[in-house]
Structure formats: C-alpha cells, structure tokens
Homo-oligomer: A and B are copies of this chain.
C-alpha cells in the first residue's frame, strides 16, 4: 500500500473532530464514519459530521442509520420519555445517556468498513473522563476489541484500533486540537435539541470546562456559559 488509510468515528462533536486531525497528523488518509441512532440531536450532529468531511477533503464519508439502538435502548439519548439530566461532573454513576454496548456496535461497523476499504486503522475519540460513566470507553474494552478485530477479520487484514485520547482528559484534547487548528466552530456537542447549545447538559458542561481550563474561547454559541473551572 502506498498510503495509509484510517476510518475515524465522527459524532459531530469535538473529541471525534480532534481524532480526525490526529489521524491526518499521523499520515492517514481519512475515511469518516458517522451513525445516527435516533438520538434527539441527530440532524445537527450529522450535518456537522458531513461539513467536517468536506472541510478535511475526506476520501469517503459513510453514514449508517442505526435506529435499532433506539429500539433496543432504554437511554435518554434515544428515548423521548426520559429527560436529559443536568450535569453532575462528580458522579461516578452510569449516566442515563448510556446506550447498552453502543461502542461495540459502532466499532464493529467501523471495522467492517475498514476491512472493505483496505484501511489499516480505526480511530475513536474516547477519552479517560468518559469511563467514569461508560464501560465501553475503557482501555480494557478497547484492548479486548483489538483481539476481536485480530481474530475476526481475514488473515491478511491488519487493522489497529487507535484511541489516541484514551488516557487524556477532555482538556488535553482541546489543547491538542487548538494546536492542530481543529475547526471547533463546525462541531456540536449538546445533548439537548436546542440551538444554540444549552450550556448545562453533561456534554456542554464538560466541553465548556475543557475550553475554560486552557483559557481558550469555545467558538460555538451557548444559551448560557456557566463557569465550570474548579476553584
């Protein structure tokens, strides 16, 4: 192979956008992969993912409808009957936004996509602060999934699962992204169906906190911008 190719999971948010730039910085030609699973913010996220694919001149953009996760799930991201909770950044409980085993589903798709396109890597933008809440964001999970890839693909296929931020904080990601000029104005993180972003859900709180900690202005608009930086 002359050039390296990588599938990158893109949600439309800042972590995965940074992962795209990280992959390109490591010399990979980007194949962007986005899913919709009936989450309340689906159309905004999808539009952001597509705009990002155009921005980086991606080799390919694949969108997969995975509404079945909404059918199966009992999560606030997919079930209109469960309200999105306000952020509690100190909580160790599994948040109601959990979709059972979501990342395994997405990584399985991404690996199929990678194998069909001779890609040698799959990037996912999960980070260390995700694992307080989501079991399928932990390093042990990614290690296990690497073994599934190694044993479950063709002998000649070699696909490395790369979670470049798995030991990082969201603040580290923001810092790295700013360094690589990631166009964060094109991304969307809010869990609520509102425009501008609410500023108070889990996703907004963690994002604002990251930018506040590196003292950089988050270029997207918010309904409110509470201070999330610790004393």
Main secondary structure of the interface of A (DSSP, over half): helix
Within the assembled complex, what's the spacing in Å between the Cα atoms of A145 and B141?
10
Please, which residues of chain B bring their CB within 8 A of the CB of A176?
none
* Complex: chain B residue closest to A104, CB-CB: B108
Please, which residues of chain B bring their CB within 8 A of the CB of A105?
105, 108-109, 112
The 0/1 profile, CB within 8 Å of B marked 1, for residues 45-87 of chain A is 0000000000000000010111011011110000000000000
Integer count of this chain's copies in the complex: 2
The 0/1 profile, CB within 8 Å of B marked 1, for residues 113-151 of chain A is 101100000000000000000011010110111011111
Indicate if the CB atoms of B103 and A152 lie closer than 8 Å. yes
Task: Given A100-B115, A115-B100, check contact A141 B148 (CB 8 Å).
Answer: yes
Indicate if the CB atoms of B140 and A151 lie closer than 8 Å. yes
Across the interface, A152 reaches (CB within 8 A) one of B68, B111, B136, namely B136
Please, which residues of chain B bring their CB within 8 A of the CB of A109?
68, 72, 105
A168 at interface (Cβ–Cβ under 8 A)? no
Task: Given A94-B154, A138-B151, check contact A99 B73 (CB 8 Å).
Answer: no
The smallest C-beta distance from A147 to any residue of chain B, in angstroms, reads 4
* Interface residue ranges, A against B (CB under 8 Å): 62, 64-66, 68-69, 71-74, 94, 98-105, 107-109, 111-113, 115-116, 135-136, 138, 140-141, 143-145, 147-155
Which 7 pairs from chain A and chain B are nearest by CB? A144-B147, A136-B152, A100-B115, A104-B108, A141-B151, A64-B68, A105-B108
